[in-house]
Amino acid sequence: MTAPLLSLRGVSKSFGGARALIDIDLDLHAGEVHALLGMNGAGKSTLVEIISASLTPDTGTLSVAGEPAGPLTPRRARQIGITTVHQRRSLVPSLSVAENLLLGRLPRRGPWVRWDEIRRSARAALDDIGVRIDVTAPVRTLPAAQQVLVEIAREVHAGGRVLILDEPTAALGGGDAAHVHELVRTLSQRGVGIVYVSHHLDEVLALADSITVLRDGRRVTTVPAEGTTVSDLVTSMTGGKADIGQRRPAVEPGPVVLDLVGIGTGDRLRELNLQVRAGEVVGVLGPAGDGQSQLFGLLSGTRRPRTGSILVDGRPVRPGSVRDALRHGIRCVTGDRLALGLIPELSVDENVTLATRALSGRPFVRWPALHAMAAEARDRYRVVSIAADPPVRALSGGNQQKVLLAKWLPTGGRVCLLEEPTNGVDVAAKAEIHELVEGLAADGTALLLTSSDVDEVLRLADRVVVIRGGAVVAERTVAQTSRDELVTMTAGGTAA
């Protein structure tokens, strides 16, 4: 019997005291599309990072074509044919398609780059897998779907025989996703083994040969895709769990504070109508990269909607204006705290007070006032650090998240968007952040919560909206819905 193209045995990984993966076995055969599924925090990302050598497992072995891979580095992984296309694009937007395809491997004659050969090689690489794209075009001018195709083509051209695709269609509509599906099928027919990570269960069942489900760091099942249903997968992913902890007590919301009327972006969101009342928490669920991912830019004013209007207390907010959004009391807490929310090299106190106007407008920083204001915020939000005022990069993920909340929440917002508020934090920090959210709602703030954690949404929200394909496909009060129903609708199935 032919050895698997990729084989993992007994792979485990811990971070501090938290076990992210526990004794994982997985086989990938040549020409197989092997889907990897699981809820948020199940261990998918950790497993992908181990296969691609971004992380080293604590225990376990990895073999390629029957040969032990030994200690892997990212460079060594690529040399033996393990390549990865991450959800976050890694192309260079200002360079051409051809330059991106051969980046790091540009042919030269002495000191001179051989541009004609670059273009010929790029065209041949795309033609070989049936992709038609102008290789001279700057990548930034390509539609999102073509950028994904270029990235996949680059990894195949580099010699990838084990290809990891991490949410490749997350930001794509159905028509664009079909082009990616077609390329995946082409590559599998040529013997490439593909590990396919996706939240779209309908996509997985249509595309995969086999499916592995992770839950709480363990492999709970590996099954053939044929004969498996969405309901089967949801049950495996959730474990039939019904206990989500004590739900936030039901409240009688006040008047409408935030009113989104016919909001559309022209790509991932169309004709969104949504109201949020004072003291109400509205959870927004959807596949990664779908319409709910647009809410941060639209509400914060960093992106202008193509259609529709945003009203706060009945007054229109100027589209695409950060200043006007803040003036109307909209506060947006990003889910990418280090890249977009905090300045890692600045101290905790400096980050906490970045959004405070009381300390601005003077030629000198009032350090005693800054530290006093920050100390009050650190106490209120229970920010714990070893040193008195360290750089924020030195804090744990949970404390970094609390610094981000302390930066924005005390600034008098009428509306607050919380984007993945407990992403990457431990259980204790998560409980504290949930308590802060409950306090905001009790004070009358209108809250929008976008989270990939269904349990978190059910725990905190009064009402849940599901967005798929850029449109609202379901709206329920928490009392009207179940965990499995929400998982099914979010992942593309039809709820009973």
What is the average pLDDT across 364-390? 79
Evaluate whether residue 250 is within a structural domain.
Answer: no
- The percentage of residues in the chain with a pLDDT greater than 70, rounded to a whole number, is 91
Residue 458 has pLDDT above 80, yes or no: yes
**Which tokens is 202 given?**
């309908």
Helix (H, G, I), strand (E, B) or coil at 98: helix
Are 262 and 150 in a shared domain? no
What is the average pLDDT across 33-59? 88
Q: Which of 191, 209, 238 is the last residue of a domain?
A: 238
What is the average pLDDT across 326-336? 90
| Residue 123 belongs to domain spanning | 6-238
Evaluate whether residue 388 is within a structural domain.
Answer: yes
Are 354 and 397 in a shared domain? yes
Q: Looking at residue 171, what is its pLDDT?
A: 63
Reported as a pLDDT band with limits 50, 70 and 90, residue 496 is very low
Would you give the DSSP letter of residue 138? B
Are 213 and 69 in a shared domain? yes
Residue 81 falls in which region: left (phi positive, over 0), alpha (psi -120 to 50) or beta? left
Are 478 and 332 in a shared domain? yes
Are 312 and 428 in a shared domain? yes
Ranges 111-120, 199-208, 226-235, 276-285: which has the least confidence: 111-120
Q: Count up the domains in the chain and report the number.
A: 2
Name the helix (H) or strand (E) containing 309. Answer: strand 307-312
Evaluate whether residue 355 is within a structural domain.
Answer: yes
Are 21 and 132 in a shared domain? yes
Q: Looking at residue 244, what is its pLDDT?
A: 45
Contacts of 321 (CB under 8 A, 6+ apart): 301
Are 338 and 393 in a shared domain? yes
Are 194 and 262 in a shared domain? no
Residue 250 has pLDDT above 80, yes or no: no
- Give the strand pairing for 33-37 and 210-215: parallel
Alpha-helical runs (H) found in 129-239: 144-157, 174-189, 201-207, 230-238
Q: Model confidence over 122-172: pLDDT tens digits? A: 898 888 888 889 999 998 888 878 888 888 888 888 888 999 998 888 666
Q: Which of 238, 272, 293 is the last residue of a domain?
A: 238
**265 vs 314, residue with greater confidence:** 314
Evaluate whether residue 245 is within a structural domain.
Answer: no
Contacts of 360 (CB under 8 A, 6+ apart): none
Residue 245 has pLDDT above 80, yes or no: no
Residue 66 falls in which region: left (phi positive, over 0), alpha (psi -120 to 50) or beta? left
Most trustworthy range by pLDDT among 87-96, 316-325, 386-395, 422-431: 316-325
Are 262 and 396 in a shared domain? yes
Name the helix (H) or strand (E) containing 491. Answer: helix 483-491
Evaluate whether residue 220 is within a structural domain.
Answer: yes
Inter-residue contact 269 to 263 (CB < 8 Å):
yes
Q: Which of 211, 238, 265 is the last residue of a domain?
A: 238
Are 169 and 293 in a shared domain? no
**317 vs 405, residue with greater confidence:** 317
What is the average pLDDT across 255-265? 93
C-alpha atoms less than 13 angstroms from C-alpha of 30 in its C-beta half-sphere: 11
Check which CATH number belongs to the domain holding 261 and give it.
3.40.50.300
Evaluate whether residue 243 is within a structural domain.
Answer: no
Are 305 and 400 in a shared domain? yes
Q: How far apart are CA 310 and CA 319, in angstroms?
A: 8
Residue 258 has pLDDT above 90, yes or no: yes
Reported as a pLDDT band with limits 50, 70 and 90, residue 9 is very high
Q: Looking at residue 482, what is its pLDDT?
A: 82
Torsion on CA atoms 373, 375, 380, 383, rounded to nearest 10: 130
Inter-residue contact 410 to 377 (CB < 8 Å):
yes
Q: Looking at residue 415, what is its pLDDT?
A: 95
User: Concatenated DSSP letters for 251-284?
Assistant: ----SEEEEEEEEE-SSS--SEEEEEETT-EEEE
Q: Looking at residue 87, what is its pLDDT?
A: 72
Q: Model confidence over 164-191: pLDDT tens digits? A: 998 888 666 556 778 889 989 999 999 9
Give 104-113's long-range contacts (Cβ < 8 A, gap of 24+). 105/158
> In this structure, how many other beta carbons lie within 10 angstroms of the beta carbon of residue 320?
15
Q: Looking at residue 242, what is its pLDDT?
A: 45
The mean of the pLDDT values for the chain is 85
- The percentage of residues in the chain with a pLDDT greater than 90, rounded to a whole number, is 33
Are 212 and 271 in a shared domain? no
Evaluate whether residue 185 is within a structural domain.
Answer: yes
Q: Looking at residue 243, what is its pLDDT?
A: 43
What is the average pLDDT across 5-28? 90
Residue 288 has pLDDT above 70, yes or no: no
> In this structure, how many other beta carbons lie within 10 angstroms of the beta carbon of residue 309?
14
Reported as a pLDDT band with limits 50, 70 and 90, residue 231 is confident
Residue 358 has pLDDT above 90, yes or no: no
Q: Looking at residue 402, what is its pLDDT?
A: 87
Evaluate whether residue 70 is within a structural domain.
Answer: yes
